[in-house]
Amino acid sequence: MYVEKKKHYEARAKILKALAHPSRLFIVEELQKDERCVCDLTDMIGADMSTVSKHLAVLKQAGIVTDDKRGNQVFYRLRVPCILNFFGCVESVLESQVKEHAEALAGLGKESF
C-alpha cells in the first residue's frame, strides 16, 4: 500500500522536484561537462545572480551537487555522475509525443479525404 512507502516516494519526489526547472536542468547539463562557478552559470543563464544562487541551493540541498569554495568563487559540481542516463527516458517521453502527433496528422490526412 501507499501509506507504508510514502516516505520512500517523498524522498524520490524531492529529488525530481529539484531537477524540475529549466534553469536547473541547464545547470546539471553544464556541470556534466565540468565544474562551474556561480558567475559563469549566471552569465550563461542570464538571470539575477541571486536567482541562480537559489537554484544551486535547491540542487545542493537535494544532494545533486556539491560546492567547493576556492578563493572568491564557489565552484559547483555534480555529486552523482549518472544524471545523463537519467534523461534517456525523458527524451523518450518527448519522442513518443512527437511520434503520436505525427501519427495523428497522418491519420487526419487519411481520413479527411
Partner DNA sequence: TAAGTACATGGCTATATGGCCATATAGGCA
Partner DNA sequence: TGCCTATATGGCCATATAGCCATGTACTTA
Binding site for its own copies (CB under 8 A): 1-3, 5-6, 9-17, 19-26, 44-46, 62-64, 79-80, 82-83, 85-94, 96-97
- CB contact at 8 A, 51 and 64: no
Q: Which is nearer to its own copies, 85 or 112 (CB)?
A: 85
* Distance of alpha carbon 16 from alpha carbon 12, whole angstroms: 6
Q: Report the DSSP beta bridge partners of residue 107.
A: none
Report the nearest approach of DNA to the CB of residue 71 (Å): 3
Q: Report the DSSP beta bridge partners of residue 74.
A: 69
Report the nearest approach of its own copies to the CB of residue 16 (Å): 4
Q: Which is nearer to its own copies, 7 or 69 (CB)?
A: 7
Residues contributing to the site for DNA (CB under 7 A):
17, 21, 23, 37-39, 42, 47-51, 53-58, 67, 69, 71-75
Q: Which is nearer to DNA, 48 or 95 (CB)?
A: 48
Q: List the grid coordinates of 27.
A: 545547470
* Range list of β-strands (E), the chain: 36-37, 65-70, 73-78
Amino acid at 5: K
Q: Which is nearer to its own copies, 13 or 57 (CB)?
A: 13
Q: List the grid coordinates of 40.
A: 559563469
